[in-house]
Chains A and B, each alone.
Chain A
Amino acid sequence: MTEDELDQILETYEVPEPPAGFADRVMAAAHPRPARRWSATSWGVLAAAAVLALALALVGLWPTRPVTGALHARRRTEVTLGARGVAVAENGARLRWTVDGTRAEIEQSEGDVFYRVSPGQPFVVRTPEGDVRVRGTCFRVEVLEMNVSPQLFAGAAAGALVAGAVVVSVYEGEVAVQNEHGEVSVEAGERSVIEPSRAPSEPSDAPASLARRPRDPQTEAARDETPATRGIDEMDAPALRARLRSVAARSRERAHEVERLRGLLDDAELADPGRSRFFPASPADLRRWADACQLRLDQPPVMGIEPGRVGEHAETLELDPAEARAVQDAIERAHSSLTEDLRALYVEATGDVDGAAALSPRAMLAEIRDKAGTAEQHRNVMHRIARERAGLERPPPADAELSPSERAVRRYARVGDEFQERLARALGPERARELRARDEGWPWARSIFAGCDDD
């Protein structure tokens, strides 16, 4: 089974909607009211309601549970939307739907989707810029992307999306395109563009290639269409702008794929028993890891808001009670030292004194990296440290003016060695080295940072 096939299968796992009245129950639990006595009238109302519910159930009028689903298409995918609708979602399209009887509501947040809908109850496609209300037709909705921040490309937190445009092209029948600024009716062979903060454009003749009705969805799904070139010479400025944004969205997909492959590579490295060692590292190991752009770090549990515990690893390391106490003491001192150093760097990088007092080392390191550097700079520093360890590059001189972000990463990378030094002072250098080597590295936390810019 390929990765794509797995993604397709995973997307079939739909979950039911939250039960009715859930918010009421949460609010009742959050703001409990004094209990009151049930009166005879209350019991009467309850009994009447129960009888009514039973009667409705017996005659089949009790509302059926809506069917919901979601899709993030990794390739062209056909979806059946209840009894009346079929959607063909192109790679990158995102959909969520709720079909209740013959009513359907689709939320299309991204991408290009062709719909075929039989006449019937309301069928609505909601997009970021407006709604498309359908009266039995064939049409295409393209949510044409959104500028994406560099941080998002780098896989960092989302939240910097800027609305794009939505193009609605009708092949058969008629649809209503509406948002808070206005509504237009779009007929077969026409197209309307919804741009942010504007009413939908008056319908215009769609370019011939766009207006042509696709073949049956199954045939359409099998066709190797190239969206980037479809009708491109016939597009006007809004459509071209939208197409450009759509291509940017696909780039984001590729960035996700790169991130996933890096994870798989990490895993493959970890799974290889001959290459899972973190400590001790021979010169050949260090050279091989540097060549592969890998920095391997084994650390004590010091990245949380509180220092971690020796825990079950007292057994892993075969510590006697006195040694376990010494190791716990070293963990606490290492945590305290790291927290203090990162707080100073965090304040230098962000000026946020309050945050420095409240955040864990892990959170401070991430914020320093995000606010005072980029993911690329972070990777470069990691790679330089790997090369320095392998003797392929000189470490920066002690008086070098390094950025707070680089100093933070370097501080983080020293944690494992520093912990060994602390234990050496308590237990002796030989015992400290022996403990670290027992499980081929400190057992609490192990990370492989991998990836060169040209990966």
Chain B
Amino acid sequence: MERARRGEPEAQRALVERYQRPVFALLHRYRGPSAEVEDLAQETFLRVFRELPSFRPRGRARLSTWILTIATRLAIDAQRRADVRSRHEPDPPAAVVSPERLVERKSAAAAVAAAVSDLPEPFRAALVLRVYHDRSYREIADAMECDVGTAKSRVSRARRRLREALGEGMA
């Protein structure tokens, strides 16, 4: 990491190759399949390169958590920009995945993807970090700049919404 911190391209490339998988996974689950995922992933690593000199490896955050935190914040910012853009557009469909929609998608995995993407912010980011990246509540709280209790509540509420959405769809 020291070499990457000094800006050596080979070390930076190794860092990208090591962490690109979790970063893409996080962004894909947060934003859904879209061309924007790669843009956000690229912006994540460019920001990692810029801010790496200030990262404290002996601090509380692991490098992986720190990188995922950057990706999360970029994703949330992108979502907010999209929300602003969509204010003048028709209302989005209801959050619940209907049985018909489930049949159309023909698979539980697609239904989960739809239900996760329908979760409102900030529940979605908290859930993705907890369920798919095994981050502790404290790490989620740091990434989302909220208290641990709030992070727990967000994950819990996200799970409840998913239970409702998926339970209804799969009943």
Contacts and interface: CB of A to CB of B under 8 A. Distances in A.
Are these two chains actual partners, yes or no?
A: yes
Interface in A1-31: 1, 3, 6-7, 9-10, 12-19, 22-23, 25-27, 29-31
B147 A447 contact: yes
B62 A157 contact: yes
A445 B148 CA distance: 11
Nearest to A304: B145
Given A18-B24, A27-B16, A263-B155, A12 B108 contact: yes
Nearest to A17: B21
B108 A1 contact: no
B17 interface: yes
B12 A30 contact: yes
Nearest to B61: A157
Contact of A19 (B38, B59, B107): B38
B1 interface: no
Contacts of B160: 267
A363 B156 contact: no
Given A15-B29, A155-B136, A267-B156, A6 B162 contact: yes
B159 A6 contact: yes
Contacts of A366: 60, 138, 142
Interface residues of A, number: 49
A311 interface: no
Nearest to A308: B145
Contact of B38 (A3, A13, A22, A260): A22
Contacts of A7: 131
A370 B136 CA distance: 14
Interface stretch (B39-47, B77-85, B86-94): B39-47
B65 A267 contact: no
B113 interface: yes
Interface string B1-29: 00000000100110011001101110011
Contacts of A23: 13, 16-17, 20
Given A30-B12, A363-B60, A22 B41 contact: yes
Contacts of A260: 156
Interface string A225-264: 0000000000000000000000000000000000110111
B157 interface: yes
Contacts of A72: 134
Contacts of A362: 141-142, 145, 147
Nearest to A6: B163
B60 to A, nearest CB: 6
B98 interface: no
Nearest to A448: B149
Interface residues of B, number: 58
A31 B9 contact: yes
A47 interface: no
Contacts of A259: 137, 152
Interface string A258-276: 0110111011001000000
User: How would you classify the secondary structure of chain B's contact residues: helix, strand, loop or mixed?
Assistant: helix
Nearest to A69: B109
Contacts of B33: 16
A51 B139 CA distance: 49
A66 to B, nearest CB: 12
Contacts of B142: 362-363, 366
B25 to A, nearest CB: 5
B46 A29 contact: yes
B167 interface: yes
B138 A156 contact: yes
Given A157-B61, A157-B139, A13 B112 contact: yes
Interface string A141-157: 00000000000000111
A370 B27 CA distance: 30
Contacts of B141: 362
B62 A159 contact: yes
A266 B152 contact: yes
A12 B60 contact: no
A226 to B, nearest CB: 26
A232 B108 CA distance: 39
A13 B138 contact: no
Contacts of A16: 24, 28, 33
Contacts of B12: 27, 30
Given A6-B159, A264-B156, A267-B160, A26 B45 contact: yes
A14 B109 contact: yes
B56 interface: yes
Contacts of A1: 163, 166-167, 170
B41 A157 contact: no
B16 to A, nearest CB: 4
B116 A13 contact: yes
Interface string A405-449: 000000000000000000000000000000000000000011111
Nearest to B21: A18
Interface string A22-48: 110111011100000000000000000
A224 B27 CA distance: 38
Contacts of B150: 445-447
Interface of B: 9, 12-13, 16-17, 20-21, 23-25, 28-29, 33, 38, 41-42, 45-46, 49, 56, 59-62, 65, 107-109, 112-113, 116, 131-132, 134, 136-139, 141-142, 145-150, 152-153, 155-157, 159-160, 162-163, 166-167, 170
Given A18-B41, A23-B13, 16 more contacts: A1-B166, A1-B167, A1-B170, A6-B159, A10-B112, A10-B132, A14-B109, A17-B21, A26-B13, A157-B62, A159-B62, A263-B153, A446-B147, A447-B149, A447-B150, A449-B149
7 contacts: A6-B159, A13-B29, A13-B112, A23-B16, A367-B59, A367-B60, A370-B60
